[in-house]
Amino acid sequence: MSDKTMTTDEVVSRLHSGMTLGIGGWGSRRKPMALVRALLRTRITDLTVVSYGGPDVGLLAAAGRIRRLVTAFTTLDSIPLEPHYRAARERGAFELMEVDEAMFMWGLHAAANRLPFLPVRAGLGSDVMRVNPTLRTVTSPYADASSGVREELVAMPALRLDAALVHMNRADRLGNGQYLGPDPYFDDLFCEAADAAYVSCERVVDTAELTKEAAPQTLLLKRSSVTGVVETPNGAHFTSCAPDHGRDEPFQKLYATTPYAEFAARFLTGDEQAYQSAVRAWHKEQR
Amino acid sequence: MSPASTPAPGAPAAVVTRAEYCVIACAEAWRDNGEVLASPMGPIPSIGARLAKRTFSPDLLLTDGEAMLVGLDGTPEGWLPYRQHLTMVTGGRRHVMMGASQLDRFGNQNISCIGDWSRPTRQLLGVRGAPVNTLNNPTSYWVPRHSPRVFVERVDMVCGVGYDRAAAAGPSATRFHRIPRVVSDLGVFDFATPDHSMRLASLHPGVTVEQVREATGFGLSVPDEVPRTREPSPEELRLIREVIDPGGARDREVRS
């Protein structure tokens, strides 16, 4: 069995412009921010990003790397509206496929199960159908026993990904990934829906360590759907990564209130280590 | 005297605030709902859901706002990560009270953006779960500042589906579609009219029909006799003021 550990730069060296990229987590929760920062250090652009959007989308939008976005929302949670995403939308910076949260999930399920679509009720009657004119419906071959109606539902197309980026609490060198917080979000689906999946984690541990103190159902990612593993302590910063760390609310506020160019000049010009020390320095100034 | 303070013996009880009528009106949304998840969004609906559970709807399920189902004292009783939450929605055992940036006379709701969707003048949250909510489980709305900017003739982007749009989309859309009520700082509204257009169901004490009409950007159905939103019981007032919201979050959302 192969050792899949690599650096963030090795991960992004396997990505290229024009890719469809799924990003795990949810809003401002357990986002693979170190991998997003590594992506920002490259010239990779023209991306189709598939994400339950948070600051991952905000940063990539502010840096002009998104050609098309697939999402149900973009939020910083404690700050409801993501300012960079918002500004990008208001200047018409990229194409948007706006779908409902459940439609999004079924799109990932379809891709993970190698199905062309899955039927969902959500979307019918809403303007999701108007703003996505390529969405089609599908009629059930079975009539409802009581009404005789053959239901017509939305055929949510598979959201197949060229690559997925997710962040876990722990992983081993083989690609088995573990979450220790209260919610897995949809990170296993992102990995299974992708041709290649890259997992950053707070700590790489021996396989035996994974179940020493945690229950087996915390083992979310199977190594068969993981391509690369990166150890990035505090790698979800400034989003939450319970129980390892909460959201860095003061820093998120700084991010949300600073013009992108100014924020990038201070925090995003060096490598991940430089980012983490710049964050520490900023916190020291605040005391 | 602050509403939370206990009146001196013989002194009149502190007057019921507008925010407290709003709490009562929100709580009533979950009456007789049985064993379903109450999903309140915003401070006053959250206080209302907790009040309902503490009084007339004890079987309601509540979350901690993250992935746990919790009792009133915060004791976890179940696990509800987002993926299972979505099954709770599509399985129908839930009643959500969402916010609305815009709401029209048939109950279509917008939280996505203002203006032309392809290049909005004001980007908001996105559709979030409004499409799945409205087609699958009862969906009520809470509007803390009733104005013609919220209550509009036509919403810019239909996120939550209203009665006219559901009907046009066919039986799969109408099968589980229901909007039990809309609560605002001025009153309670429902869709119990022949064409399912919005109707004034009750006025909060101190509010006039004229005020509501002026603050609503479409023709509202108004019955000849408009009931008043009911009075809270002394026990309900005690629970709101001393137990559920002693910090007065309700007064920061709706001022008297």
Q: Which of B67, B134, B157 sits opposite A127 (nearest CB)?
A: B157
Nearest chain A residue to B163 by CA: give it.
A125
pTM, two decimals, is 0.96
Nearest chain B residue to A87 by CA: give it.
B123
Q: Is B113 helix (H, G, I), strand (E, B) or coil?
A: strand
In Å, how far is B37's CA from the nearest CA of chain A? 17
Task: Show residues of chain A in contact with B129, CB under 8 Å.
Answer: 72, 100-102
ipTM metric: 0.96
Rounded to whole angstroms, the Cα distance separating A120 from A250 reads 39
Tokens of B49: 């859901």
Task: Show residues of chain B in contact with A215, CB under 8 Å.
Answer: none
Q: Which of A92, A102, A125 sits opposite B166 (nearest CB)?
A: A125
Q: In chain B, positions 180-199, which contact chain A (CB-CB < 8 Å)?
A: none
Task: Show residues of chain B in contact with A71, CB under 8 Å.
Answer: 126
CA distances in angstroms from B62 to B80, B98, B157, listed in the order given: 10, 15, 30
Determine, for residues B127 and A105 on separate chains, whether the beta-carbon distance falls below 8 Å: no
Q: Is B250 on the interface with A (CB under 8 A)?
A: no
In Å, how far is A161's CA from the nearest CA of chain B? 20
In Å, how far is A158's CA from the nearest CA of chain B? 17
Task: Show residues of chain B in contact with A147, CB under 8 Å.
Answer: 171
Nearest chain B residue to A140 by CA: give it.
B172
Digit-by-digit pLDDT tens for chain A (287 residues) are 799 999 999 999 999 999 999 999 999 999 999 999 999 999 999 999 999 999 999 999 999 999 999 999 999 999 999 999 999 999 999 999 999 999 999 999 999 999 999 999 999 999 999 999 999 999 999 999 999 999 999 999 999 999 999 999 999 999 999 999 999 999 999 999 999 999 999 999 999 999 999 999 999 999 999 999 999 999 999 999 999 999 999 999 999 999 999 999 999 999 999 999 999 999 999 98
The torsion angle over the Cα atoms of residues B108, B111, B117 and B119, rounded to 10 degrees, is: 160
Rounded to whole angstroms, the Cα distance separating A101 from B145 reads 27
For A277, residues 6+ apart whose C-beta sits below 8 A from its C-beta are: none
In Å, how far is A129's CA from the nearest CA of chain B? 10
Res. B246: pLDDT tops 70: yes
Q: How far is CA B34 from the centre of its chain?
A: 18
Nearest chain B residue to A79 by CA: give it.
B125
* Per-residue DSSP letter, A27: T
